A and B are shown apart, each in its own frame.
Chain A
C-alpha cells in the first residue's frame, strides 16, 4: 500500500488563457503514475471544467488532486459567490455566463453536467457569498 500523494494548484482568476494548466499538469502526473488513458481522461476533463468554472465565476481558487490506492479525489475550492440553485445549475445548457465569456467559447452550460458525467461521485458544498467546494472522485480500481 502506497502513501497518498496530493498535488496542489493555485488557479488564478485573472488570466483566462492560463485556465486549464492545472489539468494539463495532472494529466502528465497521472501518466507517469501509469494510469490507463480512460482514467486520465475522466480526471482531466472533470478538472478542466472545474478550473474554468472557478476562473469564470469565482476569481480562481485552490485545486487539490489526491491519488490514493482506490481512487483519485479532486477538490476544487473557491471563495466565489456560491451557487444559488444547485439543481438548476446541474441542468445541461443552464448558464449564467455573461456574453464576453460566451464569446470566448466558454459558458455553454455543460461544465457541471460534464463534471458529474465523467466522475464516480460528485459533491457540491456551496454557501452564498462564502464560496463553493466541489469534491469529485474517480475510482481507478476495477
Chain B
C-alpha cells in the first residue's frame, strides 16, 4: 500500500497549518508538522472530507484535464449520473448528453445505463447459493478501501461484480471498436466524468486489474463549466439519454438499494456512519440483512467533493428529471451473470497498522503510549499537530514528534516559570528592614 496513488493532495503554499482537516479526517491520516499539514499516504482513503472542510483551498483533488482529449483519436464520455443533478432549470437530460457531444466527445456512454445492468446482476447474485450475506456493494471505492484496511472478515461480503464505472468503460470501448474497425484500442480514450477523488484513485491504482478500461478521469466541476457554455435551450437536442429511473437513482443514497427489489437492505452514507455500520456487521450484530449500500459521501455520489451543486439540491433535481423515465431500459436479458462481469480482483487486507513487527517491541511501545496518554490533558485540541491526545502519544513513541509540542503542558510550565520570576521580583523589591 506504500505506492498507493492518491487523488487527494495538498497545496503547501496555501496551507495555514490550522486544525480543520486534522480534526475532520476519519482515518487520522493528517498531521500538522512545522506549520503545514501532511497526509499519511498509507492511511488516506481519498474520501475528500479534508477538501470539503479546508477554507484555504489548500486541499484539492488531482484529476486529469479535459485537454487530454487531444491525446486520442476517438473519445468517449462516461458521465456519472450525479452530473445530471448539477444544473438549474434543466428540463431534460438530453441537453447534457447533447452538450457532451458539442464539447467534442465522439460518443457518450452513460454510467447510469451500466448501473441498471449491475442492479439486475445484483438481484441475480443475491439469489445465488452459498454467497456470504449481507452482500456489501462494491460501487464506492472509498468503502472498499476502508474494508481492505480494517475489516478483513468482510472482504468476502463485497459484491464480486464489476462496478458501474467499469462496466460502462468496458462496453463503451467494445462499442467504439466494433463501430470503428479502423481504430486500435490505444486510439480510444475513455473519459470518466467523476463526482469524487475516490474514483480517481480507484482508476489510477488499477483496482479492477487488467479489466480497467478507463483512460482518464476528469471532474464534474471541470465538465460543468464547459457544458454551460455549449448547452443551448433554444433548440431541442439531437442526441438523447438512454438511462432509466434505476440508473439515475444510483446518484443518491438508497437508489442502488431500492433497485435490488428486496426490503432486507440497509443504505448509509457519510464515512463515519459507514464505518459504524461496518463495525456492527463485523461484530455479527445484525444477521437478517441481504444487502448493504454504503456511500462515503453524505447524500451519496451527488455529495462528491468534485461536484458543483449542493448534494440535496442535486438529488431534488434528479427526482424531477427521472420522474417520467422508463424504469430500467438497460436491464440485460441474460438469465445469469456473464462471466466477464465478475471481478477477480480481491480486496486485500492490509496489516499496516502495527507499531512494530516484533511483538515484544510493540508491547513495550504500547505500554509507553498508555503512560504518556495519562500525562496528556485529554482535550484533543489538535494544537500539537495530532488529531487527539492518544494519536499524539503514539506519534511521540514513534519518534515523530516530542512532548514539548503539547501547548497545554507548555502553558503549565510557562506559568510555573512566570510564578517563580514574579516571586523573585517581589522578594527583590521587599528589602528586609535590618538590611540598610
Contact = CB atoms under 8 A, between A and B. Distances in A.
State the majority secondary structure of interface residues on A.
helix
State the majority secondary structure of interface residues on B.
helix
A5 B360 contact: no
B367 interface: yes
A8 to B, nearest CB: 10
Interface in B351-376: 351, 353-357, 359-360, 362-364, 366-367, 370
Interface stretch (A26-34, A89-97, A127-135): A26-34
A9 to B, nearest CB: 13
Given A2-B360, A34-B357, A34-B359, A41 B282 contact: yes
B363 A67 contact: yes
Given A32-B366, A37-B349, A41-B153, A23 B283 contact: yes
A28 B152 CA distance: 13
B359 to A, nearest CB: 6
B363 to A, nearest CB: 4
A46 to B, nearest CB: 10
B124 to A, nearest CB: 29
Contacts of B357: 34
A2 B364 contact: yes
Interface in B329-369: 349, 351, 353-357, 359-360, 362-364, 366-367
Interface residues of B, number: 25
Interface in A20-68: 20, 23-24, 28-29, 31-34, 37, 41, 44-45, 48, 67
B420 interface: no
Query: Could you say which interface size class chain A belongs to?
Result: 20 to 34
Contacts of B88: none
A72 B181 CA distance: 64
A31 B359 contact: no
A5 B366 contact: yes
Interface in B141-170: 152-153
Interface in A81-112: 105
Q: Please list the 4 inter-chain residue pairs (A to B) with the smallest Cβ-Cβ separation, ordered nearest first.
A: A34-B354, A2-B363, A2-B360, A37-B152
Given A33-B362, A37-B153, 9 more contacts: A5-B367, A5-B370, A20-B279, A23-B283, A29-B366, A31-B351, A33-B359, A34-B357, A37-B351
B91 interface: no
6 contacts: A3-B363, A33-B359, A34-B351, A34-B354, A34-B357, A41-B153
B176 to A, nearest CB: 43
B353 A32 contact: yes
Given A2-B359, A2-B360, A33 B366 contact: yes
Given A20-B280, A44-B283, A114-B284, A33 B355 contact: yes
Nearest to A41: B153
A23 B283 CA distance: 10
A50 to B, nearest CB: 12
